[in-house]
Amino acid sequence: MSRLTITPDSDPDRILFDSTDGAAIAARLGAAGVAFERWTPKAPLPDDAADTAVLDAYGADIDRLIAEGGYQSVDVIRVLPDNPQKEALRAKFLNEHTHADDEVRFFVEGSGLFYLRIDGHVLMTLCEAGDLIAVPKGTTHWFDMGTTPRFAAIRLFTSPDGWVADFTGDTIATRFPDYHAATARPLADAAA
């Protein structure tokens, strides 16, 4: 289930907002300039669907985003527990960074956790199958897929170079709960 947890960037244990309600998540992220949507495929896909089948299933939504955002390339990234590069990928994504391009991801299967540092807060956004998140270029963030990753996501880029990060060098990610701890944490009553 999708989830948004907001804390001060200086205190990951002080929960200011915590919700699994899709409309509340979209509203809070939207106020921070981040788009969040839920999509439904035209037909159910098997977990191991070919990339072309994934792109075809969400073609209308992809075309809409391309028209709205001027995206020039689209692909599918799939990371599974048996991926020999999973530890290197996780380590790279866990370092706080920005991009000169929007980071647009639609989760086709599995899940991942985006940590967005905006205006003195960290917005921990758990995205699962059916979730689209569009993080504007220049937004400071990191991503955790856990030690046994299982996700497939459609990625859209305005640049033909694809995923290029500008790492901040800040170790903030080490002070926040990782994917496993964050997803295991009980839902808080905070809804400020």
Q: What is the pLDDT of residues 26-83, one digit of tens each?
A: 999 999 999 999 987 667 788 778 999 999 989 999 999 999 999 988 999 999 999 9
62 domain-assigned: yes
60 domain-assigned: yes
**Model confidence at 162: pLDDT above 70:** no
144 domain-assigned: yes
Q: What CATH number is given to the structural domain containing 79?
A: 2.60.120.10
pTM above 0.85, yes or no: yes
58 domain-assigned: yes
Range of the domain at 56: 38-112+126-170
Interval 170-180 mean pLDDT: 96
Residue-level pLDDT at 67: 94
7 domain-assigned: no
Residue-level pLDDT at 191: 53
16 domain-assigned: no
**Model confidence at 11: pLDDT above 80:** yes
Residue-level pLDDT at 4: 98
21 domain-assigned: no
The pairs formed by 178-187 with CB atoms below 8 angstroms and a separation of 24 or more are: 178/144, 178/146, 179/112, 179/113, 179/144, 179/145, 179/146, 179/147, 180/146, 180/147, 182/5, 182/113, 182/124, 182/126, 182/144, 183/3, 183/111, 183/113, 183/126, 185/5, 187/3, 187/18, 187/19, 187/20
Number of domains in the chain: 1
Residue-level pLDDT at 41: 67
145 domain-assigned: yes
Residue-level pLDDT at 165: 81
